[in-house]
Every structure is written in structure tokens, then in C-alpha cells.
């Protein structure tokens, strides 16, 4: 709706990716689905090459790949730690690193997706919180480094959002009510309420915004 051509990345679940592509096309947009495991260097680089080959340029990168798994402290959950950081942090780095030359050429923008967990920590989800906290630091580092090259770099930090990833916690009535009580606005965000701030950050309305971590959490974490 805002005029961008959209490349949707997926690893194994081609069906949902294609559904999103159809939704974008039905709304009058242009989109394609591209397979690739962002945690694998060659696949991450190929993902960017495929976008540039199809559309001759890359203006916007939104890093949203992520997993959220429980890891109890002291339980030796090294596999969860490694898997979470591989997708959430290593994958973010690999795709971004491959995209930077093209974004610099286009005067483009990057938006990272962190989380309230990366700002305050989260019990039983230390790996996820660590990965999202690192993304905030990565945002600020790249903002300082890439600003002189004409690339804007910012971040959104959502709280609870109605997604498949959070459906387990939100489908339980008591859990959901407790979560909603912790949010000053009294409800969980919709995906569209995260997409709006992302769109703002990549638009000309935010052309002098750099290194910002935009909280989109209904007031649950009031981080400056």
C-alpha cells in the first residue's frame, strides 16, 4: 500500500509465505517469496542477490526473522541458546552485512526488530532476551557507522503481539489476562500496529531519525 516491492523470506514454510505474497498482490502491490536460512552465510548472501537480480536495487531491509524458545537457567539448554542466537542474531548480521553495499548505493534504510525482552530481560527466555538486547546495540553501532554512507538504521522494540509465535501464551485465558494487566493500554498489539511504526521509520517522515529504538509495547516497558 505504501508502494514498496516486498520480498518475503521463509525457511521451510512456503505456504504462509506464498499466502502473504498473494495478499500483497491482491492489494495492488508487487511481491515474491524467497527461500533461505538466514543463519547460513551463503543462503543469506543469495537471498540479497536474488532480490537485487529481480529488482535491480535494494532500498529497505526489515530484519524480522526470529525464534522464541524457553530455556531454564541451570538446565544446560545450550542447544536452545545456540539455535536462538543463530537465527535471531547471526542471521540478522549475515543478511544485513550482505545488504549494506546495496543499501548504501540506494540511500536506503534498515529496521531491526528487537523486543521488550531485549530491554528488561525475560525469565526462562534468556537466550531470546540476549539476542534482542544485542540487536539494540547492533542498531546503534550501525547507525553511527552507516549514517555517513547515507543509510538510516533504526529499530522497533515490540511487546506482546498477536502472532503464531506467542499463540501458546496468549491462548491460555489466565496467562492472557495477566499479560494484558501488565500493559497500560490494556491489550496485546496486532501485527499491523507493529508494521505502522516500521513503515514510519523507513519513510521520508523519519529521514532525520537515526539509531532510534522505537518502543511499540502499549507502555509495558518505558525505556528511554
- C-alpha 66 chain-centroid distance: 7
DSSP 8-state secondary structure symbol assigned to residue 195:
H
> What distance in Å separates the CA atoms of residue 162 and residue 165, rounded to the nearest whole number?
8
Q: How do 31-35 and 60-63 pair as beta strands?
A: unpaired
Helix (H) or strand (E) holding 128: helix 126-146
With beta carbons less than 8 A apart as the criterion, state whether 76 and 167 touch: no
8 Cβ contact list (under 8 Å, min separation 6): 17, 20, 21, 31, 32, 33, 34
- C-alpha 80 chain-centroid distance: 19
Instruction: Please identify every residue annotated as catalytic.
Output: 115, 128, 132
Name residue 152's beta-bridge partners: 109
Amino acid at each position: 500500500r505504501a508502494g514498496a516491492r516486498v520480498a518475503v523470506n521463509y525457511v521451510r514454510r512456503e505456504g504462509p509465505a506464498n499466502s502473504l505474497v498473494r495478499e500483497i498482490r491482491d492489494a495492488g502491490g508487487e511481491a515474491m517469496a524467497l527461500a533461505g536460512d538466514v543463519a547460513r552465510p551463503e543462503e543469506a548472501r543469495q537471498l540479497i542477490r536474488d532480490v537485487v537480480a529481480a529488482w535491480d536495487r535494494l532500498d529497505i531491509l526489515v530484519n524480522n526473522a526470529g525464534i522464541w524458545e524457553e530455556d531454564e537457567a541451570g538446565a544446560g539448554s545450550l542447544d536452545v541458546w545456540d539455535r536462538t542466537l543463530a537465527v535471531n542474531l547471526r542471521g540478522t548480521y549475515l543478511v544485513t552485512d550482505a545488504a549494506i553495499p546495496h543499501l548504501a548505493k540506494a540511500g536506503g534504510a534498515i529496521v531491526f526488530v528487537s523486543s521488550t525482552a531485549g530491554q528488561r530481560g525475560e525469565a526462562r527466555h534468556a537466550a531470546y532476551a540476549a539476542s534482542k538486547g544485542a540487536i539494540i546495540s547492533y542498531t546503534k553501532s550501525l547507525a553511527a557507522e552507516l549514517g555517513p554512507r547515507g543509510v538510516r538504521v533504526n529499530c522497533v522494540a515490540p511487546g506482546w503481539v498477536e502472532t503464531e509465535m506467542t499463540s501458546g501464551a496468549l491462548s491460555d485465558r489466565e496467562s492472557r489476562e495477566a499479560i494484558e494487566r501488565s500493559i497500560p493500554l490494556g491489550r496485546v498489539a496486532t501485527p499491523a500496529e507493529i508494521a505502522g511504526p516500521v513503515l514510519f521509520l523507513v519513510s521520508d517522515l523519519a529521514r532525520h531519525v537515526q539509531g532510534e529504538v522505537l518502543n511499540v509495547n502499549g507502555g509495558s516497558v518505558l525505556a528511554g
